[in-house]
Structure 1
Amino acid sequence: MFCRECGTEVGKKVKVCPNCGINPLHGAKHCQACGANTKAKQELCKKCGAQLITKGAPLQEEEAPKTAKAASFCMPVVGVILFFIWHAKEPEKAKSVCNWTIGGVAFGMILYVFGIVWGGFSAATGY
């Protein structure tokens, strides 16, 4: 299959073209069967005769499930693993997990600094 936007050859199950970053069936510039140039309102490819497939507005990508977000926040290693699993085929899920992982790491650092300060305060005052 070819990307309808840029004409790059992609796999049939690819949701986002690696060349242009658009869903391969959301464009109207190329034939999905042979990659030939097409016009926006064209319904059949002049080169190969294939019915041109055009989907409407880009679909909103799914975010990561809540359990994946929570696991990434509490255990950043899980977030890193999920990011590398999803980054190529499901970039929105990967981005969501990455953000929760970064948030979890930042929260952990804040708690760590708070613990050091509280420990120093306790040692100095005897509380």
Structure 2
Amino acid sequence: MQEQNNQNDELSLGLKILSFCIPLAGAVIYFMNKGKSPNKAKTACYAALIGIAVGIVFQVLATVAGFSGN
């Protein structure tokens, strides 16, 4: 029974990409799954955090390179 639960406790690729691109969606997925599917929740959280970090890095690089939103 435990082995079957582990197979269903993996976040799909689409939701991983969604969590990465839209970190707020990753947070929602995390809170929806944290009780019943902890691996899904953890993966969504990590993808969201990585998405935030990548966004910050790109923003810093754009600022240093002289690109502005104006």
TM-score normalized by the length of structure 1: 0.47
Question: Cα distance, 1:63 vs. partner?
Answer: 1.4
Where structure 2 has 5 or more consecutive residues not aligned to the other structure, the ranges are none
- Once residues 106 and 63 of structure 1 are traced to their aligned partners in structure 2, the CA distance between those partners, rounded to angstroms, is 23
Which gives a bigger RCO, structure 1 or 2 (Cα 8 Å, sep 6+)? 2
Secondary structure, counterpart of 1:64 in structure 2: coil
* C-alpha RMSD of the superposition: 1.5
CA deviation digits over 1:8-50, x for unaligned, max 9? xxxxxxxxxxxxxxxxxxxxxxxxxxxxxxxxxxxxxxxxxxx
* Distance of 1:114 and 1:63 partners within structure 2: 33
Q: In the aligned structure 1, how far is the partner of 2:23 from the partner of 2:10?
A: 17
The 2-side partners of 1:63 and 1:103 are apart by 18
Q: Aligned equivalents of 1:117 and 1:66: distance in 2?
A: 33
Q: Which runs of 4+ in 1 moved over 3 A?
A: none
Aligned to 2:55: 108
More helix by share: 2
Give the alignment's TM-score, normalised by structure 2: 0.83
**Gapped runs of 5+ residues in structure 1?**
1-54, 121-127
Identity of aligned residues (%): 31
Higher gyration radius (CA): 1
